[in-house]
């Protein structure tokens, strides 16, 4: 009998890599996904097989972290031995606009799932192990350099506050109910499947489109923030290793190197041989009311106890993401040249990959946004970024279409 894993957030970046990884290990994988009016399975479509076929090992179930009953029903149906809780409203800037929703999904949603897992274990008698997707964002205003499992949390966003609660709930279920429950404190990890509103993907997507004349400007926020960026494919292995360990524990997962957003930008534009000064501008709307200035992880414990180590460094990550996004940009260029879709001359519209691949004109996905915020064009972008706290009144002008159009 194959081992059975249940993944919440299966349609996300990490969900897709973890699914691939577990299927490769012979698992039967079940995923919880939300019902939406459009398909959201793009990241796992290559893994999905029609359920009428033979040896189908990937199954999807409608559910939601906010719907405790759905989680209980799925657990008793699937009978997993491993549960990976990856679902979240995972965008930090968005969490300032939707703090309550973010806290409900991350903090209360995790509690719903922990309760359901505890009851499932106690009523079925099955052994079950639980993984919680904790985050380096919890370190916030960092108290030590680098950050390890002993570094105190000092969260700086509604997202991080909610993750801190979910972290401690996970620890408490381990201690109170003897549940095999682990926190993976993962530092930023990226990939060609990264959501297009996170800064790395926003940069690689825009740079490749600029290279092919599909876009002219890229609007960003704080270029001085530093992150410890790894590859998502490496990090899902660490999740699995935690649940195979002899004791339930918490682990930092990181590369041990930190770079500024500016470094990632220059690496990307340099790889494509284009000049960022000609294309990149600052839009204050992407500055956060409170910022995490620097993150640098110490993954010694994961290395020593789990035998885990990263395989991709920042320049390698840039090459991987740019090569992948260049393929998308070339497809888009071909469709534009053939007259199938309209040319996208500025960054005002996001490149909707799904619509490109399906040949649907962008116009059918909503009109273009207006130019956003005050721009600091040209060379000045490479000077000190203005760190002024953006007045609430400015931020309360969310213009979601524009925000999305600018890329988050
Ligand atoms: P992601 O791409 O944003 O994926 C999030 C997933 O959660 C999506 O599948 C999303 O479904 C699902 N989801 C959102 N709200 C839900 C709800 N109410 N009920 C059920 N599912 C819901 O995030 P990721 O980068 O893969 O990250 C995975 C997890 O690790 C998240 O918890 C994130 O906070 C955490 N984390 C990420 C990083 C990182 O650098 N990537 C680092 C540390 C921790 P839809 O497709 O329907 O939106
Ligand atoms: O921002 C700066 C921004 O949104 C990174 C999530 O997966 O990792 C992620 O959170 C940095 C920040 O990721 C833009 O201010 C500049 O300092 O890519 P990000 P994040 O906020 O670090 C953690 C570990 C998680 O757990 C989260 O789920 O880049 N930045 N200009 C920008 N960021 C964005 N998004 N857009 C910009 O235009």
Question: Which of 111-115, 264-268, 362-366 is predicted least confidently?
Answer: 362-366
As a whole-number percent, the residues of the chain with pLDDT over 90 amount to 82
In a shared domain, residues 210 and 167: no
The CATH number of residue 378's host domain is 3.90.25.10
- Domain match, 162 and 217 both: no
Structure-token pair, residue 2: 């194959």
**CA atoms of 142 and 24, how far apart (whole Å):** 37
**CA-based angle 399:404:408, to the nearest 5?**
110
**Which residues in 346-355 are b (16+ Cβ under 10 Å) and which e?**
ebbbbbbeeb
Which residue in this structure is represented by tokens 């090569």? 323
Same domain, 37 and 95: yes
Residue 52, in any domain of the structure: yes
Give the distance, in angstroms, between the CA of residue 55 and the centroid of all CA atoms in the same chain. 30
Same domain, 219 and 144: no
Return the minimum-mean-pLDDT range out of 54-58, 341-345, 357-361.
357-361
CA 404 to chain centre: 16
| CA atoms of 68 and 152, how far apart (whole Å) | 31
Q: Quick one: 84 and 168 in the same domain? A: yes
Tens of pLDDT, residues 288-343: 999 999 999 999 999 999 999 999 999 999 999 999 999 999 999 999 999 999 87
Tokens of 220: 């960003």
Residue 297 placed within a domain: no
Q: Taking all residues of the chain, what is their mean pLDDT, rounded to a whole number?
A: 87
Closest ligand to C-alpha of residue 61 is 1
* 5-36 pLDDT tens trace: 999 999 999 999 999 999 999 999 999 999 99
Note the pTM of the prediction, 2 decimals.
Answer: 0.90
One domain for residues 213 and 354: yes
Does the pLDDT value for residue 361 go beyond 50?
no
d(CA 201, CA 175): 39
149 and 217 part of one domain: no
Using the structure block, give the residue that is written with the tokens 């079940």. Answer: 30
Identify the residue whose C-alpha is closest to ligand 2 atom 27. Answer: 90
- Do 211 and 342 share a domain, yes or no? yes
Boundary-marking domain end, from 186, 215, 232: 186
What does the pLDDT read at residue 53? 85
Q: Which of 136, 164, 186 is the last residue of a domain?
A: 186
Q: How confident is the model at residue 344 (pLDDT cuts 50, 70, 90)?
A: low
**200: confidence class by pLDDT, cuts 50, 70, 90:** very high
- How far, in Å, from the CA of 167 to the mean position of ligand 2? 20
Listed residues 127, 162, 186: the one ending a domain? 186
Helix (H, G, I), strand (E, B) or coil at 376: strand
Q: Is residue 238 part of a domain?
A: no
Please indicate, yes or no, if residue 319 is contained in any of the structural domains: yes
CA 222 vs CA 47, 236, 261, 290, 407: distances in Å: 37, 28, 8, 11, 14
Q: Is 367 inside any structural domain?
A: yes
Percent of the chain past pLDDT 70, that is, above it, reads 84
We report the CATH number of the domain holding residue 75 as 3.40.50.720
Confidence of residue 408 (pLDDT cuts 50, 70, 90): low
Torsion angle (degrees, nearest 10) of CA 93, 105, 13, 22: 160
Measured CA distances, 31 to 28, 83, 360 (Å): 10, 10, 28
Residues 146 and 203 in one domain: no
193 closest CA partner among 159, 253, 233, 237: 233
Is residue 182 located within the same domain as residue 206? no
- Beta carbons within 8 Å of 329's beta carbon, 6+ residues apart: 208, 209, 211, 212, 214, 351
For ligand 2, mutation pick of 135, 221, 228 (most atoms within 8 Å of CB): 221
> Are the C-beta atoms of residues 162 and 215 closer than 8 Å to each other?
no
Question: Has residue 249 been placed in a domain?
Answer: no
- Ligand 2 neighbours by CB, cut-off 6 Å: 90, 92-93, 135-137, 187-188, 197-199, 202, 220-222, 225, 227, 261, 286, 288, 291, 408
Number of domains in the chain: 2
How far is it, in rounded angstroms, from Cα 378 to Cα 85?
Answer: 43
What would the mean pLDDT of 212-230 be, rounded to a whole number? 98
Once rounded to an integer, what is the mean pLDDT over residues 331-359? Answer: 64
159 included as an active-site residue: yes
Q: State how far the Cα of 11 lies from the Cα of 188, in Å rounded to an integer.
A: 18
DSSP secondary structure letter of residue 391: P
Judge whether 137 counts as a catalytic residue.
yes
Segment 65-105, tens digit of pLDDT: 999 999 999 999 999 999 999 999 999 999 999 999 999 99
Looking at all shown ligands, the one closest to residue 227's CA atom is 2
Residues 159, 205 share a domain? no
Is residue 239 domain-resident?
A: no
Distance 286 CA to ligand 2 centre (A): 10
Indicate whether 305 belongs to any domain. Answer: no
Residue with tokens 């690689």, as numbered in its chain: 204
* Cα–Cα dist 100/260, whole Å: 30
- Judge whether 135 counts as a catalytic residue: yes
Residues 160 and 214 in one domain: no
Residue 363: which domain range?
199-223+258-291+314-406
């Amino acid at each position: 009998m194959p081992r059975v894993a249940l993944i919440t957030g299966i349609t996300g970046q990490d969900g897709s890599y973890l699914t691939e990884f577990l299927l490769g290990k012979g698992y039967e994988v079940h995923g919880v996904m939300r019902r939406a009016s459009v398909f959201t399975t793009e990241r796992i479509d290559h893994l999905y097989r029609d359920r009428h076929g033979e040896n189908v090992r990937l199954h999807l179930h409608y559910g939601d972290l906010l719907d405790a009953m759905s989680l209980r029903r799925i657990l008793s149906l699937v009978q997993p031995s491993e549960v990976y809780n990856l679902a979240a409203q995972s965008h930090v800037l968005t969490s300032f606009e939707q703090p309550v929703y973010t806290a409900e999904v991350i903090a209360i949603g995790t509690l719903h799932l922990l309760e359901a897992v505890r009851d499932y274990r106690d009523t079925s008698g099955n052994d079950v192990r639980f993984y919680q997707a904790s985050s380096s964002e919890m370190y916030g205003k960092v108290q030590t350099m680098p950050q390890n499992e002993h570094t105190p949390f000092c969260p700086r966003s509604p997202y991080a506050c909610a993750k801190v609660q979910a972290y401690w709930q996970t620890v408490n279920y381990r201690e109170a109910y003897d549940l095999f429950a682990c926190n993976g404190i993962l530092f930023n990890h990226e990939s060609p499947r990264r959501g297009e509103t996170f800064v790395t993907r926003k940069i690689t997507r825009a740079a490749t489109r600029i290279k092919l004349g599909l876009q002219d400007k890229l609007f960003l926020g704080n270029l001085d923030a530093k992150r410890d960026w790894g590859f998502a494919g490496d990090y899902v292995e660490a999740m699995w290793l935690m649940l195979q360990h002899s004791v339930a524990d918490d682990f930092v997962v990181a590369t041990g190197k930190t770079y500024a957003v500016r470094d990632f930008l220059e690496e990307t534009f340099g790889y494509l041989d284009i000049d960022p000064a000609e294309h990149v501008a600052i839009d204050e709307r992407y500055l956060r009311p409170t910022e995490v200035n620097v993150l640098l992880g110490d993954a010694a414990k994961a290395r020593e106890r789990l035998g885990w180590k990263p395989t991709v460094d920042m320049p390698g990550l840039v090459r991987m993401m740019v090569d992948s996004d260049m393929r998308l940009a070339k497809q888009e260029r071909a469709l534009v040249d053939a007259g199938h879709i309209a040319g996208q001359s500025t960054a005002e519209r996001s490149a909707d990959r799904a619509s490109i691949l399906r040949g649907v004109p962008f116009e059918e996905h909503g009109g273009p946004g207006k130019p956003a915020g005050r721009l600091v064009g040209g060379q000045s972008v490479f000077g000190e970024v203005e760190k002024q706290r953006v007045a609430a009144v400015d931020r309360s002008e969310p213009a979601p279409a524009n925000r999305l159009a600018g890329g988050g």
